[in-house]
Structure 1
Amino acid sequence: MKKLSNKVTRTTFCALCAVAVLVVSGGTALAASTYPDRPITIVVGYPAGGSVDLNGRIVAESLAKKIGANVVVENLGGAGGTIGAQKVIRARPDGYTLLVGSLNEVVIASLVNPAVKYNGITDLQAIGLIGDQPLVLAASKAGNIKNTDDLVKVATSGKSDSYSYGSSGVGTSLHMAGEMVNAETGARFLHVPYRGVAPLVTDLTSGRLPLGVFALSSALPQIQSGQITAIGVTSAKRSSFAADIPALAENPALKAMDISVWFGLFGPKGMPEDVTKKLQAGLQQVLADPEFQAQYQKTGSNIMRTQPDLAAFFQAEHNKFKKLAETAHIATERP
């Protein structure tokens, strides 16, 4: 009787384990199949009004319609977008906390800031790229740099260290673009970090600063009004948004210049495959939507209608900016 009792106990235990496995796996499958069944939060690691925030808001509005869920934007500014990125990395990987992130916090931050303990490429699940926007190198009207030939002449004169360029902060993509100009031409233009675009514009228009690097959309009003001179965009080719501004790469001395700020949709690593696929399909529907395209054009960015191989793309970006940060000793520049 005792042996029979033990056999029954073992059989019951195994049956309960099997039921538990079915419940857990069934619950996961059910969660994936019913996703989304509650509001989704898109975190933006910057204050309202900037380029990343604009991407986040118009993507959230359109994505909500495509996947049938409420999508809200949470602005969590600070530390160059890294606070927002960290929140998403630490979130439960269920697809309900996402990030609209950019080149700065996903790739560059961990290369130049020892305080950043995450790796955006390996700790975030890339859903897809939204778009990209070139930067623009602009000059003060009061200076002697009017075009790329003037820029290269100064860069190779041996006196470039008497010139400075401003950006919105150490380790940003704007800073990296300025350092790429230095690396390509052998110049020693001095970097001056600013706390935001407004003071940078003030010093450039007043003539206190010879050069400045901006997001194209931020600089266009001053360029079009004639307050500052556009030297060239930092992307490999001209922007369709401002086709009259040459690409710096059109000058042979700057032919390797190719930096654009890109924006993408990310989630925490480890999201269920079905959830990731639903989000990817939803994002592709967003990018193909004419209403979204009309809105997005106003931001000065190009839509990523064709997605690259994301793993290869992010690895190439990491390699590019790691090399540039090392060449420019950017990490050691931080206070």
Structure 2
Amino acid sequence: MPLATAAKIHRRQLVAALALAALACSAPPLMAEGAWPARAITLIVPYAAGGNVDVMARWIGPELSARLGQPVVIENVSGAGGIIGTEKAVRAKPDGYTLLLSVESTIIIAKMVTPSTVRYDGLADLMPVTLLGAQPLALVGKPAMQSKTAEALYAELKSVPGKYSYASSGVGTSLHLGGELLKQQGGLDMLHVPYRTGTQIVNDLSGNQLDLAVLPLSMVMQQARAGKILVYGVMSDKPSPAMPEVLPLAGVPAWRGANVTVWQGVFAPKGTPTQIVERLNTALGQVLANPSVRKNFEDGGVTPMGAGPREFAAFVKNEESKFGAIVTKGNIKAE
């Protein structure tokens, strides 16, 4: 064989070998590191142990572990209203071994109302996996309120601007924005009273020390059924299965479409392989179908959802637009 021909063949073989090596080096983590999951998975809860989100994590954790064949370790990383734990999840390696269970206030609203301190973008830096559950906010009042229906209350609020106040769990929370939306749509003048905890709000309402409040429905169900507080309606188009006797505030024309829910979902760091996200979503859907898990959700006033990555992402995007409009119109800042 002529030397020139042999040299050409050798060069082609060398190029092919280099191409194969490059392909091997660029293989996605799922292929390079073997079958997922091969070890324990950390589920970050960016709030203290014992809270609502932590409780939900402990409802789903063992069931998710059983379906994936590896331990699911719940790690509470509290601080700054969920921001510290969320930042830790954002910085985690996107390999499917670190997940985040969080809510609308931390994922979406925090960046809007505290832009100088929040260093992540919930939509850009996290991948929605599964929307676990949701519940509407409720407008509630002290038992001594003169108006007993949503229609009568709206008329009273409209007729006496500035007379009444409403409480929420803090400036810039979804509860605050829910109350602000009722003000904006209804053309109302009410004073916002921020509290640190929802439990204290309920106590002060039942003691007639507060006029009104916007709270998750689950937080007021027991007191409402005992007649200790008034529930004027839920911020949704239809009643909640958890308390179907409570009608939507949409019965008041000015409040039609003023819908705000609080929700919980699982997220993964941006760049997590799609195969892993899809498998996680499938497993979480099976967890939510478990009767004992569903009962825990429903007894807690939360409607199980189960929306997958694409539907959940669209939902979060819509939530961002809705809350962003409220924040902008109300010029709301928590700094």
Matched-pair contact (CA < 8 Å) for 1:51–1:299: no
Of the three residues 315, 318, 330, the one matched with 1:316 is 318
Q: Please tell me whether residue 225 in structure 1 is matched to residue 241 in structure 2.
A: no
Shift of 1:142: 2.1
Separation in 2, partners of 1:234, 1:117:
31
Residue aligning to 1:72: 73
Q: Please tell me whether residue 147 in structure 1 is matched to residue 159 in structure 2.
A: no
TM-score (norm: length of structure 2): 0.90
| Structure 2 counterpart of 1:324, one-letter code | I
Deviation larger for 62-71 or 28-37: 28-37
The percentage of aligned residue pairs carrying the same residue is 39
Q: Secondary structure at the match of 2:146?
A: coil
Separation in 2, partners of 1:65, 1:198:
34
Matched-pair contact (CA < 8 Å) for 2:87–2:119: no
Shift of 1:320: 0.6
Separation in 2, partners of 1:221, 1:228:
9
Matched residue count: 329
Q: Secondary structure at the match of 1:184?
A: helix
Residue aligning to 2:212: 211
Q: Judging changes above 3 Å, is the alpha-carbon distance between structure 1 residues 23 and 270 closer, same or farther for their aligned structure 2 residues?
A: same
Q: Secondary structure at the match of 1:165?
A: strand
Q: Secondary structure at the match of 1:330?
A: coil
Separation in 2, partners of 1:16, 1:145:
81
Residue aligning to 2:95: 94
Q: Please tell me whether residue 112 in structure 1 is matched to residue 117 in structure 2.
A: no
Matched-pair contact (CA < 8 Å) for 1:223–1:230: yes
Matched-pair contact (CA < 8 Å) for 2:113–2:327: yes
Shift of 1:52: 1.7
Deviation larger for 299-308 or 182-191: 299-308
Deviation larger for 177-186 or 147-156: 147-156
Shift of 1:305: 4.0
Separation in 2, partners of 1:273, 1:306:
16
1:130-162 superposed Cα distances (whole Å, 9 cap, x missing partner): 1111111110012223220222112211x2312
Shift of 1:191: 0.7
Residue aligning to 2:124: 122
Shift of 1:258: 0.8
Separation in 2, partners of 1:19, 1:323:
51
Aligned 1:163-178 pairs, distance under 5 A: 163-178=164-179
Shift of 1:36: 0.7
Aligned 1:150-299 pairs, distance under 5 A: 150-157=152-159, 159-299=160-300
Matched-pair contact (CA < 8 Å) for 1:32–1:272: no
Residue aligning to 1:83: 84
| Structure 1 counterpart of 2:124, one-letter code | T
Separation in 2, partners of 1:306, 1:195:
31
Separation in 2, partners of 1:72, 1:299:
23
Separation in 2, partners of 1:147, 1:48:
37
Shift of 1:231: 1.1
Shift of 1:285: 1.6
Q: Secondary structure at the match of 2:242?
A: helix
Q: Judging changes above 3 Å, is the alpha-carbon distance between structure 1 residues 26 and 320 closer, same or farther for their aligned structure 2 residues?
A: closer
Q: Secondary structure at the match of 1:149?
A: helix
Q: Secondary structure at the match of 2:162?
A: helix
Of the three residues 137, 140, 145, the one matched with 1:138 is 140
| Structure 2 counterpart of 1:56, one-letter code | A
| Structure 1 counterpart of 2:243, one-letter code | A
Q: Judging changes above 3 Å, is the alpha-carbon distance between structure 1 residues 116 and 29 closer, same or farther for their aligned structure 2 residues?
A: closer
Matched-pair contact (CA < 8 Å) for 1:139–1:145: no
Deviation larger for 200-209 or 61-70: 200-209
1:59-81 superposed Cα distances (whole Å, 9 cap, x missing partner): 21211111111001111222222
Shift of 1:269: 0.2
Matched-pair contact (CA < 8 Å) for 2:130–2:307: no
Q: Secondary structure at the match of 1:303?
A: strand
Q: Judging changes above 3 Å, is the alpha-carbon distance between structure 1 residues 31 and 154 closer, same or farther for their aligned structure 2 residues?
A: farther
- 5+ residue gaps, structure 2, are none
Q: Secondary structure at the match of 1:162?
A: coil
Separation in 2, partners of 1:31, 1:127:
22
1:146-194 superposed Cα distances (whole Å, 9 cap, x missing partner): 220222112211x231211111111111111101110111001111110
